[in-house]
Amino acid sequence: MHILGISLHIIIAILFAIHAIRTRQEMYWLLVLFLFPLIGSVVYGVAVWLPSVRDSRGGRRALRALREQIDPGRELRQAREAFELSSTVQNRLRLADALLAAGQPGEALPLYRECLQGLYRNDPDITVRHARALLESGQAGEARRELDALISSQPDYRSREGHLLYARAVAACGDKDAARHEFDALLGYWASLEPRAWYAETLFGWGETGAARKIAEEALQPVKHMPRHARELNDEWIRRLKAVIRDS
């Protein structure tokens, strides 16, 4: 297959070369990719690219979403089985995450609390997940206080997901000015559709339909240029943004 006269495997090799440079891989990968573009791309994809995607937060979320589509409930079943076999912190945390993803934040809460002890007492990532379980179980005030405490105790900690959660918690507490400030800050550095969908829905819920529609329309403009796999990964946010436009 050729695209504008360039073989597809050459294009893939170029994309992998860009990935190698950006992620500071050993320079011999560039020789492998350009001297043997087909087999080199296969080797690089298996040895470097797939593990990097799997180990990234976004990659893990995408893989979980794919597995859930193929076998709904699989992760929760496996997490329960693993926890029953061995109640380690890792298995406890995995079960809590699976319950949260399955829409059962109330069941996840005590598991997160148990994880936030001993060595992991001040772990910021677990704290953020615990705060999300609080928020999604209807305890917005508690979630905001927990995140405020995290910001105070670990000011150098950075998490886009945590920042979005904080904006949602502040909005759920009814502090509109502070929520706008947090959402505007998020949109300033995070190009994802996710914070835009939450912001548009928040404004819509406040009755500010014009502002909500504007954010949704601006967010959806680049979608038509997205490759198919990117649209599929963002399907939930695209649907929610379209719903804001439809209902406003």
Confidence at residue 35, expressed as pLDDT on a 0 to 100 scale: 81
Task: Tell me the domain boundaries of the chain.
Answer: 1-55, 191-248
pLDDT at 58: 52
The more confidently predicted of residues 56 and 106 is: 106
The pLDDT score that the predictor gives to residue 108 is: 97
The more confident residue out of 50 and 174 is 174
pLDDT score of 38: 81
pTM (two decimals): 0.73
238 and 231 in contact (C-beta within 8 Å)? yes
Phi, psi of 155 (to 5 degrees): -65, -20
**Among 195, 130, 201, which Cα is nearest to 160's?**
195
Long-range contacts of 166-175 (CB under 8 A, 24+ apart): 167/195, 167/198, 167/199, 168/135, 168/198, 168/202, 169/131, 169/135, 169/140, 169/143, 169/144, 170/144, 171/202, 172/135, 172/140, 172/143, 173/140, 173/141, 173/144
Query: In the predicted model, what is the mean pLDDT of residues 79-105?
Result: 94
Q: Please report the pLDDT score of residue 166 as a whole number.
A: 98
**From CA 234, how far away is CA 100, in angstroms rounded?**
19
Res 42: pLDDT = 81
Alpha-carbon gap, residue 136 to 146, rounded angstroms: 14
Rounded Cα distance, 210 and 223, in Å: 21
Q: 175 — alpha (psi -120 to 50), left (phi > 0) or beta? A: beta
Q: What is the CA radius of gyration of the chain?
A: 21
CA distances from 102 to 70, 73, 77, 112, 136 (A): 15, 8, 11, 15, 12
Residues 205-239, buried b or exposed e (16+ Cβ, 10 A)?
eeebbebbbebbeebbeeeeeeeeeeeebbeebbe
* Opening angle at CA 166, ends 99 and 183, nearest 5: 125
Provide CB contacts within 8 A for 34, sequence distance 6+.
Answer: 13, 17, 40
Contact in structure between 204 and 248 (CB atoms under 8 Å): yes
